[in-house]
Structure 1
């Protein structure tokens, strides 16, 4: 009898131990699952070409995301790509981003945004350094994008720039424009400039380029025929401003540009878009999307409100330019 009781007690203790052990094993995964790992976001960033304006927009985009808590090495993995102004490179980069199923694409410059938009209708795309999203057929309208693309526009105050030209050179009659015939953003700006010039009694002569190799010949074709030169925020020209200045400087031909990076590279003056701030605007929009606060289709295109008038120090001296006292400006080197 004692042996039977002892056996029964031993069996009960063994069963209790096994049950407890099983419960402990079941509890372990639950405990681990109570603190899930934070999501790491994959963001593809594509830049059309390397020049001061687009570099600044790229930095502003990343800095704004970091300020909002999206930081490389913590919860973001960036895939930075530069297409070197090559359309086939853009297509390959777009396919790379789509295949890798990135969470968001940052597209810098109009051709980059267009290629990304053609590659995906589902991945959110936040573009910057795009002059007119609607004209570029990236959105249904700038107020209501209606698809997976939104961002910040680099449209400059072109009418104000025409006024600046007349204020500094009141005897101006003929203005030359130089831009890439393949950039829809440049065509849009030149079209606006021509309208503004006509209102002010100015004649416009156009010279277009298809690559940086055409810049000097195009500029030379305008020398002696125009009083000043205007170049919009054109990526081809912006990437090779020194080549343009090699023609205009000896000819004493002032160059008015669409953005500040071109002035820093040698153009005479600009009422400038701040591309770093423009990139920050886009970065904030991207953060809103990643946080689930907004969707691209309902996010209106945003525009920069404040602009600076910049003059290049070397060009001012070369042209013996007298800047009117009532023109608020900055001198850059």
Structure 2
């Protein structure tokens, strides 16, 4: 009888140790984005895929949480505080506003941001090569020179480019400033149209009618979240609409040379794996996303009165028709 009790006690102890070991092996990755739109959603999915490929599977040895701030910076701050309280292994904020909220909330929990245009300007890190502290990530500064080249190749007579953007979103403001600085080299003028929230995007686009030759939508999350409003204005008024990301071409802009945000997510996930395996975020340099693809939407081009030159079509990785 005593032997039986000892065997039972030993079995319970072994089960407890096995459970404790499993819990110790389990990691939690909390992901948050400022808003939901195809590019940011693809980045999230890419992060999860990279974790899976490295052996971290949701529901097994990984707890994977995701929340969107629905475009509201105050909600982004609330999500950051909630995540900090849960003490996850790593937090992955997607886009500048969410990254700023998370980085402001913790100096201890590892943070690996993604889809951030200017991490130094956004005060996420002081130095891209030596970020220090608990933060690193993947930046996505747009290949603006390629975008201007593409616009001028398709529409050589372009002189005025309208750019709707949210002045309160750091990445949008940085891109507009860069475009204004670059504009003289391409013999164009940048005409801005501010929109502080998604509901303002259509009015901002309409304010450009009669003033510009084309509209360019940067990787500004406020504008991209209401992209269909800009496309509608472009189509109705035969103003060609170009974009800073290729996911927007699938949605109806004419063309872009841009990053594959699913691949950006995978690149970010690879950094998260390094942190999970023991590297300190501050020792991992921040790098810009790699890879750019040319997407063309011939259906959108026709609707906006544009014919894509054969030389451009021949270079496209993807043609939507």
Alignment TM-score, normalising by the size of structure 2: 0.91
Cα offsets for 1:108-150 (capped at 9, x unmatched):
1110010000110000011111111111100011111112111
Tell me whether 1:307 sits opposite 2:292 in the alignment: yes
Aligned partners of 2:266 and 2:203: how far apart in 1? 37
Select which of 180, 198, 207 maps to 1:194. 180
Matches within 5 A, 1:127-276: 127-276=113-262
Q: CA deviation at 1:313?
A: 3.0
Q: CA deviation at 1:325?
A: 2.8
User: In the alignment, which residue of structure 2 is the partner of 1:282?
Assistant: 268
- Contact 2:30 / 2:90 at 8 angstroms: preserved in 1? yes
Count of paired positions: 315
Q: 1:49 to 1:21 in 2, by over 3 A?
A: closer
Tell me whether 1:331 sits opposite 2:319 in the alignment: yes
Aligned partners of 2:151 and 2:7: how far apart in 1? 80
User: In the alignment, which residue of structure 2 is the partner of 1:12?
Assistant: none
User: In the alignment, which residue of structure 2 is the partner of 1:37?
Assistant: 21
Q: Quick check: which has more Rg, 1 or 2?
A: 1
User: In the alignment, which residue of structure 2 is the partner of 1:3?
Assistant: none
Q: Which deviates further from its counterpart, 310-319 or 92-101? A: 310-319
Aligned partners of 1:21 and 1:111: how far apart in 2? 60
2:257 partner SS: strand
Alignment TM-score, normalising by the size of structure 1: 0.88
Select which of 295, 302, 314 maps to 1:317. 302
2:310 partner SS: coil
Q: Which structure 2 residue ranges, 5 or more long, are not aligned?
A: none
Aligned partners of 1:72 and 1:100: how far apart in 2? 17
User: In the alignment, which residue of structure 2 is the partner of 1:56?
Assistant: 42
Q: Which structure 1 residue ranges, 5 or more long, are not aligned?
A: 1-17
- Contact 1:162 / 1:196 at 8 angstroms: preserved in 2? no
Aligned partners of 2:12 and 2:203: how far apart in 1? 71
Q: CA deviation at 1:28?
A: 7.0
- Contact 1:150 / 1:299 at 8 angstroms: preserved in 2? yes
Q: CA deviation at 1:30?
A: 8.2
- Contact 2:298 / 2:308 at 8 angstroms: preserved in 1? no
Q: CA deviation at 1:33?
A: 8.2
Q: CA deviation at 1:61?
A: 0.6
Q: 1:101 to 1:200 in 2, by over 3 A?
A: same
Q: CA deviation at 1:322?
A: 2.6
